[in-house]
Structure 1
Amino acid sequence: MIVLTIDQRGSTYADDRVPEVLAELADLTRGRDGVVVRFERTVGDEVQGILAPGRAGAQLAVDLTLHLLRDQGWSVGIGVGQVEGPLPAVSREARGFAFYRARDAVERAKTRGRGTSVAVEGPPPGAGDLVTAESVTAESVTAEPVTAEPGETSSEPSRPDLAAEVEALLRLLAAIRARRTPQGWEVADTLASLADKPGRQRIVAQSLHVSEQAVSQRVRAALWQEEEAVRPVVVRLLAELSGSVGPEPAEPAVRSTTKKRAKS
């Protein structure tokens, strides 16, 4: 599962914006796949929601995160991992690894500057490669361990830290967007509202009553094409981190566990 924990920045000296952001999140998620438990206030000025593993949840997580960072009034923590079942109606009653990681992530995000206050936490690299009883054979138990000779390096490739990669790319995108001018946002928002087909910039120029050359200049200055190229990469990596990049199940697969719950 993917858990988003969102905390208002500077809330001690500002009005409570939670009702406002909840309305925005409800509007942005309406009719879209990927929401498991809708966003609700958890405590104080904090908001939390649960998204599905895989592409739909990852896409939604990236879209919501970048939307919130554009506002520069929120810190976003993304936690990936197991959630204890059965799932409750509200996220504040749920528990599991993903929630602990989202808590760690949002605390780290608070230390970042406005517009780039996002952090991602997930299972450590290689955590999915756990040895099960069924995978242990007599041959594997009795086999001599393979060690590298002095001066040699192991040919086993190291596992990528997907959480760190997702976080780095999200922060890069957020930094690009934080430096975008109002004119750049005007063009970017108009382009985003149109279908991806030839002639979009001409339509934007007509809509904004400027020349196509002016639109092209704004697109380049806003790094809009670069952002559009990177966003699918972030989604793919987050989908992989959450455990599935293929077709999603009809219902989120939440493992019930009898293990002792971890302390927060």
Structure 2
Amino acid sequence: MSVLVLTVDQQGSRRSPDRVAETVAALAGVPTLRAFEQTVGDEFQGVLDDPAALPPVVEALLRDGTWHIGIGAGEVEEPLPSHARAGRGPAYLLARDAVTAAKSSPWHLRVCGADPAARALETTLWLWASVLARRTSRGWEVADLVAEGLSYDEAARRLGISPSAVSQRAQAAGIVESRRARELATELAARLLGKEPT
């Protein structure tokens, strides 16, 4: 069975409080094959088999800005144990390699896998990360409302600003580019999982 194993390690954990528990709780609504859970120290792990689940996880972690993100794409030994941390197989080894490499990589993120789509996914996520890194708090306000399904006009009313101001914020925040990046990341994750995007 092909899966995506995410191994995520907190940056600078010796100098800051352990944020694993709150981050795992924040990701609880994401559909997973095996839920995110703390492994050792300041690290957590989860297993995904839904390509559409990857972008929201990556976006949340990049937005937070305090994580080394390793994604391993490959097979796991079956039957898969009930806890993510107990699994074995190539995808787990690749995720370990990825999170180690992420510590000295752009955007603290790496994707490892034998399929060429793994490199394409990594490139897509790096480019998306560069868009998100420029997004201001005002840009996130608009992006969050649009993600809830609001139109620009509805977002303008909610924020008490003009529709043109919302449009300007959306453009500066790279909302359209971000949407395209999510779509491409989902397609590439689907290819790695041997599935059609949902």
TM over 0.5: yes
- Please give the per-residue CA displacement for 1:90-134, whole angstroms capped at 9, x wherever unaligned: 122111000000011111111135xx22110112x4xxxxxxxxx
Q: How does 1:48-197 map to 2 (within 5 A)?
A: 48-52=45-49, 57-112=50-105, 116-123=107-114, 125=115, 161-194=116-149
| Length-normalised TM-score, structure 2 | 0.94
**Paired AA for residue 190 in structure 2:** A
Distance 1:205 1:228, change over 3 A: same
Question: How many pairs align?
Answer: 196
Pick aligned residue for 1:243 from 184, 194, 197:
194
C-alpha distance 24-165 of structure 1, shift in aligned 2 (>3 A): same
AA of the residue aligned to 1:93: A
Q: In the aligned structure 1, how far is the partner of 2:105 from the partner of 2:66?
A: 12
| 1:81 partner SS | strand
Q: Secondary structure at the match of 2:71?
A: strand
What's the counterpart of residue 16 of structure 2? 14
Residue 246 of structure 1 and its aligned partner are, at CA, apart by 6.8
Unmatched tracts of structure 2, length 5 or more:
none
Q: Distance in 2 between matches of 1:112 and 1:7?
A: 14
Distance 1:244 1:191 in 2: 28
Structure with the bigger percentage of strand: 2
Superposed CA RMSD in Å reads 1.5
1:83–1:98 Cα contact (<8 Å) kept: yes
Identity in percent? 42
Counterpart residue identity of residue 112, structure 2: E
- Structure 1 contact 170–234 (Cα < 8 Å) conserved: yes
**Distance in 2 separating the partners of 1:80 and 1:176:** 24
How has the CA–CA distance of structure 1 residues 78 and 67 changed in structure 2, closer, same or farther, with 3 Å as cutoff? same
In 1, Cα distance between equivalents of 2:179 and 2:52: 13
Q: 1:207 to 1:246 in 2, by over 3 A?
A: closer
Distance 2:24 2:182 in 1: 24
The one-letter code matched in structure 2 to 1:167 is E
Normalized per residue, which structure has more helix? 2
Q: Which residue of 1 aligns with 2:175?
A: 224
Q: Offset at 1:244? A: 2.1
Structure 1 gap segments, 5+ residues each: 126-160, 248-264
Distance 1:246 1:178, change over 3 A: closer
Find the aligned partners of 2:60 and 2:85 in 1 and give their Cα distance.
23
Matched, 1:24 2:21: no
Which whole-Å CA distance do the structure 1 matches of 2:197 and 2:181 have between them?
A: 20
Partner SS for 1:88: coil
